[in-house]
Chains A and B, each alone.
Chain A
Amino acid sequence: MASGAQGAKGTLYRGREGMWSWVAQRVTGVLLFFFLFAHVLDTALVRVSPHTYNQVIGTYKNPVVNLLEVGLVGAVMFHAFNGLRIIAVDFWSKGPKYQRQLLWVVVGLWAVLMLGFLEPMMQHTFHEWFGW
């Protein structure tokens, strides 16, 4: 197909909020899939032996994984709220008209809840890194 021959050097399509929220929905969706994959594997270890399970979970107790956790919460929240927005676009008769405003509600909720989550989630890391 010639669309392939058009190659990587064509311009990036300048979509607006709708397109970028779709991209973010895809990216967070794929990330969540990988998390669930790892999560099923590590949880299944409890069937091997509770000791192995504890060992593996023990390796998660460090600031890097804590940061990944924060990312996980962020991805889950965006994916969930934007998912509700997409449902509204499809099933609420005024959804398509207010899709942009709905996205700002999603982003706003996400930001407020992330700020709220940050302190309790990262308490230990803050303590280790900065001695707070």
Chain B
Amino acid sequence: MSTATVQEHVETSASGKAGIEMMTITVRIRRYNPEVDAAPHWVDYQVTADPTARILDSLHKIKWEQDGSLTFRRSCAHGVCGSDAMRINGKNRLACKALVKDLNPTKPITVEPIQGLPVLKDLVVDMEPFFQAYRDVKPFLIAHGNEPTRERIQSQKDRDRFDDTTKCILCAACTTSCPVFWADGQYFGPAAIVNAHRFIFDSRDDGANERLEILNDREGVWRCRTTFNCTEACPRGIQITQAIAEVKRALITRRVI
């Protein structure tokens, strides 16, 4: 990756020339090894970081240079795969999209696992309950009747209707920012509702009633208390609370518009 440039920055700042000022930051990580620890605990790490680099780069530095046992998920490292959702400075974000300079680096930057899912080790949680809720809303096209011989045509307007909720990358930042989900792990959670919304409002799909019935459950959309934590946390900027409200209204009026 960009090792060469990083070293260049170190040299320029060391020689006092203008350039990107590297800084020493403290990353306070909530660590937990189920084989050794009785409970999670905070550990501080000092790393030099480029203020415009991501917090994921600092996690890499810690793992590669200081403590190889630090465990976290990441795949693409560019905000596409949704693997590295974590609670950074008290808010759910993707470590690969959170820049050091936006996190008040003068104070220790806290990094903890997302809340409400069982912690397996350090920053890794068991995502299975989250994916189960996703599967429960049938996140695939349900179409009855004659198969068209060519593609299923849709107007631009009909496509735009659910465009926002197609952006979900299933990182779980929304669901694990929801106070209702923390208190009641049975709640479907924002991500599952977003992915149901994506099909409920798709003009090509015939499964809207089926999905609405699933979300009419006691643990469905009615659990939403509109705290907007999900909307604030979404790294893709999906208007989640709005989508949930639309599903609520579709359930009341029994009309999908």
Q: In the bound complex, what is the Cα–Cα distance between A11 and B119 (angstroms)? A: 15
- B229 within 8 Å of A by Cβ? yes
Partner-contacting stretch, out of A14-22, A47-55, A73-81: A14-22
For residues 14 through 60 of chain B, which have their beta carbon under 8 Å from a beta carbon of chain A? 30, 32, 39-42
A contact residues, total (Cβ < 8 Å): 26
- A2 within 8 Å of B by Cβ? yes
Main secondary structure of the interface of B (DSSP, over half): mixed
Q: Kindly list chain B residues whose C-beta atoms are within 8 Å of the C-beta of A19.
A: 179, 227-229
- A64 within 8 Å of B by Cβ? no
Beta-carbon contacts of B85-120 to A below 8 Å, as 1s and 0s?
001011100000000000000000010110111111
Closest to B177 in A: A13
Q: In the bound complex, what is the Cα–Cα distance between A15 and B117 (angstroms)? A: 19
For residues 226 through 249 of chain B, which have their beta carbon under 8 Å from a beta carbon of chain A? 226-229, 231-232, 239, 241-242, 245, 248-249
Q: Kindly list chain B residues whose C-beta atoms are within 8 Å of the C-beta of A9.
A: 40-42
Instruction: Decide: B228 and A6 in contact? CB cutoff 8 A.
Output: no
Instruction: Decide: A10 and B30 in contact? CB cutoff 8 A.
Output: yes
- B185 within 8 Å of A by Cβ? yes
Q: Kindly list chain A residues whose C-beta atoms are within 8 Å of the C-beta of B89.
A: 11, 14
Q: In the bound complex, what is the Cα–Cα distance between A17 and B229 (angstroms)? A: 9
- A41 within 8 Å of B by Cβ? no
Q: Kindly list chain A residues whose C-beta atoms are within 8 Å of the C-beta of B126.
A: 2
Q: Kindly list chain A residues whose C-beta atoms are within 8 Å of the C-beta of B232.
A: 15-16, 18
Q: A3-B182, A90-B245, A96-B231 are contacts. A14–B226 as well, Cβ < 8 Å?
A: no
- B225 within 8 Å of A by Cβ? yes
Beta-carbon contacts of A91-129 to B below 8 Å, as 1s and 0s?
100011101000000000000000000000000000000
Beta-carbon contacts of B120-151 to A below 8 Å, as 1s and 0s?
10000110000000000000000000000000
Looking at the assembled complex, report how far the CB atom of B256 sits from the nearest CB atom of chain A, in whole angstroms. Answer: 14
Closest to B129 in A: A1
B contact residues, total (Cβ < 8 Å): 38
Q: In the bound complex, what is the Cα–Cα distance between A78 and B245 (angstroms)? A: 22
Q: A22-B226, A90-B248, A96-B241 are contacts. A14–B40 as well, Cβ < 8 Å?
A: no
Instruction: Decide: B118 and A1 in contact? CB cutoff 8 A.
Output: yes
Q: In the bound complex, what is the Cα–Cα distance between A49 and B102 (angstroms)? A: 66
- A5 within 8 Å of B by Cβ? yes
Closest to B30 in A: A10
Q: Kindly list chain A residues whose C-beta atoms are within 8 Å of the C-beta of B32.
A: 5
Instruction: Decide: B228 and A99 in contact? CB cutoff 8 A.
Output: yes
Q: In the bound complex, what is the Cα–Cα distance between A90 and B40 (angstroms)? A: 38
Q: In the bound complex, what is the Cα–Cα distance between A56 and B2 (angstroms)? A: 77
- A40 within 8 Å of B by Cβ? no
Beta-carbon contacts of A24-40 to B below 8 Å, as 1s and 0s?
00000000000000000
* 15 examples of A-B residue contacts, CB within 8 angstroms: A3-B185, A6-B40, A10-B87, A11-B90, A11-B110, A15-B228, A15-B232, A19-B179, A19-B228, A22-B225, A22-B226, A86-B226, A90-B226, A95-B245, A99-B241
Given contacts A6-B119, A10-B30, 11 further A-B contacts (CB under 8 A): A1-B118, A3-B182, A7-B39, A7-B40, A10-B40, A12-B90, A15-B232, A18-B231, A90-B249, A96-B226, A99-B226
Q: Which residues of B come within 8 Å of A, CB atoms?
A: 30, 32, 39-42, 87, 89-91, 110, 112-113, 115-120, 125-126, 177, 179, 182, 185, 225-229, 231-232, 239, 241-242, 245, 248-249
Q: Which residues of A come within 8 Å of B, CB atoms?
A: 1-3, 5-7, 9-19, 22, 86, 89-91, 95-97, 99
